[in-house]
Amino acid sequence: MQSIVIFTDGACSGNPGPGGWGSIVALSDGSVRELGGGEAGTTNNRMEMTATIRALALLDTPVASGVIVYTDSTYVIRGITQWVHGWRSRGWKNAEGNDVANRDLWEELMRQVMRLKPATIDWKYVRGHSGFEGNERCDEIAVAFSKKQFIELFDGPRARYLVNLESLPAEQALPEQKSAQKGGKGSSSAKPGSLSYLSYLAGVVMRHSTWAGCERRVKGKPAKFKKVKSQQEEKELLVSWGLDAKYAIVDE
């Protein structure tokens, strides 16, 4: 059966300020539904998350096919595939011990992901404004709602949908992270390929820039840990722990 394809986007003026979100959900039964909404005072990240949550919430269970989510938000992708595990294990605190921003939405997004299991969700990054009609349409919806402008939302058969969803974005790597997300992982100086320490606890692999940070996490706990000096050593260590060489690593 054909996968369910979802595009999402968020927009915000001022950040915080008036914002909007937009989603396209192409269901496996051949129908397409557009979703959108806005808030008077919000942030871009909250709008990106809301767009994703509302799209997933639209899906009925059980889901017989896989789900592909295209988003230009690295915050959403890294958050749901990497960061949330560490946040939850620390009681929704980031590496500095501060409260995680947007916890309410992260918990709801996790709930939606768990609700759809055993269906798999493939999170795919698409660079914003790169010409893919699904992404461009979601941006149009989000901006309209952020400005309180009327926009007609489509709900009908895919054959009548004027947005081209046949040409899907090719696989794109996430952009290299230049700085830590606010309320996210923290401001670690650890980088893949440099001297660092890896720890493995409760299903989460974390990269630490200092031994002190690693020790705080593993001391007195049934954890695995080791110093590594290169990206290749990281991969080899993951395999030695029985994990895939591409297993997601959370920076402290």
What pLDDT score was predicted for residue 186?
38
Q: Look up 129 and say whether it is catalytic.
A: yes
Catalytic residue chosen out of the listed positions 34, 36, 38, 72 = 72
pLDDT in tens, 3-28: 999 999 999 988 789 999 999 999 99
Q: Confirm whether pTM is higher than 0.75.
A: no
Q: Which residues contact 91 (CB under 8 A, 6 or more apart)?
A: none
What pLDDT score was predicted for residue 37?
98
Q: CA 52: distance to chain centroid? A: 9
Burial label, 119 (beta-carbon count in 10 A; 0-12, 13-18, 19+): middle
Catalytic residue chosen out of the listed positions 34, 39, 48, 234 = 48
Catalytic residue chosen out of the listed positions 34, 39, 108, 139 = 139
> For residues 88 and 14, what is the distance between their CA atoms, to the nearest angstrom?
30
Catalytic residue chosen out of the listed positions 96, 104, 129, 155 = 129
pLDDT in tens, 147-179: 999 999 999 999 999 999 888 887 777 776 654
What pLDDT score was predicted for residue 184?
43
> What domains sit in the chain, N to C, each tagged with a CATH number?
4-160 (3.30.420.10), 196-251 (no CATH)
> For residues 134 and 125, what is the distance between their CA atoms, to the nearest angstrom?
13
Average pLDDT of span 47-73: 95
Q: In this model, does residue 188 exceed pLDDT 60?
A: no
Q: Which residues contact 136 (CB under 8 A, 6 or more apart)?
A: 129
> For residues 64 and 21, what is the distance between their CA atoms, to the nearest angstrom?
27
Strands 196-201 and 204-208: antiparallel
pLDDT in tens, 102-152: 999 999 999 999 999 999 999 999 987 777 899 999 999 999 999 999 999
Q: Look up 99 and say whether it is catalytic.
A: no
Q: Look up 72 and say whether it is catalytic.
A: yes
> For residues 23 and 239, what is the distance between their CA atoms, to the nearest angstrom?
38
What pLDDT score was predicted for residue 27?
96
What pLDDT score was predicted for residue 24?
98
* pLDDT band, very low/low/confident/very high, at 194 (cuts 50, 70, 90): low
